[in-house]
Amino acid sequence: MATSRASDTAKKHRPQMSNAGLDPTQPVEARDEFGDSRSLHVAGEYPLTIKVDERELVTLMTLGTHPEKLTLGYLRNQRLIDDIDEIACIEVDWERETVEVTTTHGEGIIDLHEKIKKRTVTTGCGQGTIFSCTLDKLYDTHLEPLPLKQSTIYALLKNISDYNQIYRAAGAVHGCALCDGPEILHFVEDVGRHNATDAIAGEMWLEGITGHDKLFYTTGRLTSEIVMKAAHMGIPVLISRSGITHMGLELAQDLGVALIARAKGRHFLVYNGEDTLIYDAIPPRSTAPTRAKATRQ
């Protein structure tokens, strides 16, 4: 499921795009622990090869629900194309398992060899790749802190419970959300959290949405890759239902990204950016007496 609202800045050039999103789940039959037959749904998973002016770039494994925006966000977050005006058309062909990106100048990705001369395999679900150009431009950005109320986190976590429909139906996916305070602006599920993040980045790029005053929520762990993507998207606050990695923390400290993890219900842990948090809804501590341990006589 995806939701969005009008952009907070003037819309940029919009490439022509196909509308080739697939159904997120497929029906299957399985047998439970009692040997009984059950009709269920499983998440889709499809290869999608990105080509830019007919030159193959990378193959992504995806749920397939937002292939055009995933492509846009991938090119943007990898810093392979910095100006959406360079993109004339995005056309998905599932029979060929390709997405054809046509540029306005017809020259493909400028300085492609230099941009991809070094690759880093990441902890992305399956295996992700970060190109040298992604890292080269990373430290050009240091995000301004965004004050955040504790009550806003609680409200956001409550609102997010209305989403995750694909996960509830089939499991095997991660969900990510672009948020304005507690309001969910755009929500995407995919087989990997990096794909869901890139699809949201594509939506932001397409609609001219800025990230400086937004929050980003994910069900997945906050690794260095996700922190990098947040920085490239200009988003200063990351909130996760899961945990973080040490490299993700160090990178967030360098770039000024607030990290809030293990966030569920009325519990969360602030790993970076504690000085931006406003504690306006501190829950009462439990006063239940602890049970004394029995001792042997």
| pLDDT tens-place string over residues 225-275 | 999 999 999 999 999 999 999 999 999 999 999 999 999 999 999 999 999
Query: Of 178, 168, 259, 274, nearest to 221 (Cα)?
Result: 259
pLDDT band at 288 (very low <50, low <70, confident <90, very high): low
For the stretch 21-50, pLDDT in tens is 999 999 999 998 999 999 999 999 999 999
232 burial type by CB count under 10 A (0-12 exposed, 13-18 middle, 19+ buried): buried
18, amino acid identity: S
Residue 30 CB contacts under 8 Å (≥ 6 apart), including other chains: 37, 38, 40
Query: Of 87, 115, 113, nearest to 101 (Cα)?
Result: 87
pLDDT over 80 (residue 118): no
- At the second CATH level, the architecture of 16-140 is Roll (3.10)
pLDDT band at 136 (very low <50, low <70, confident <90, very high): low
For the stretch 161-216, pLDDT in tens is 999 889 988 888 999 999 999 999 999 999 999 999 999 999 999 999 999 999 99
The whole-chain average pLDDT of the chain stands at 88
pLDDT band at 4 (very low <50, low <70, confident <90, very high): very low
For the stretch 240-249, pLDDT in tens is 999 999 999 9
pLDDT at position 168 is 87
224, amino acid identity: S
pLDDT at position 295 is 45
pLDDT at position 201 is 97
Q: Where in the chain is the domain with CATH 3.40.140.10?
A: 148-278
pLDDT band at 112 (very low <50, low <70, confident <90, very high): confident
pLDDT at position 1 is 46
**Most confident range, picked from 4-13, 144-153, 278-287:** 144-153
pLDDT over 60 (residue 131): no
pLDDT band at 122 (very low <50, low <70, confident <90, very high): low
pLDDT band at 115 (very low <50, low <70, confident <90, very high): confident
Beta strands of the chain (E only): which ranges?
Answer: 16-17, 25-31, 37-43, 46-52, 55-62, 87-93, 98-103, 119-122, 128-131, 148-149, 174-180, 183-190, 215-218, 237-240, 258-264, 267-272, 277-278
pLDDT at position 142 is 81
Query: Of 246, 234, 294, nearest to 272 (Cα)?
Result: 246
Integer Cα distance of 19 and 65 in angstroms: 10
Q: Where in the chain is the domain with CATH 3.10.20.10?
A: 16-140
Integer Cα distance of 268 and 164 in angstroms: 19
Q: What is the CATH number of domain 148-278?
A: 3.40.140.10
What does DSSP assign to residue 138? G
For the stretch 11-21, pLDDT in tens is 568 999 999 99
Query: Of 281, 92, 288, nearest to 199 (Cα)?
Result: 92
As a dihedral over the C-alpha atoms of residue 196, residue 198, residue 204, residue 210, rounded to 10 degrees, the angle is 110
pLDDT over 70 (residue 152): yes
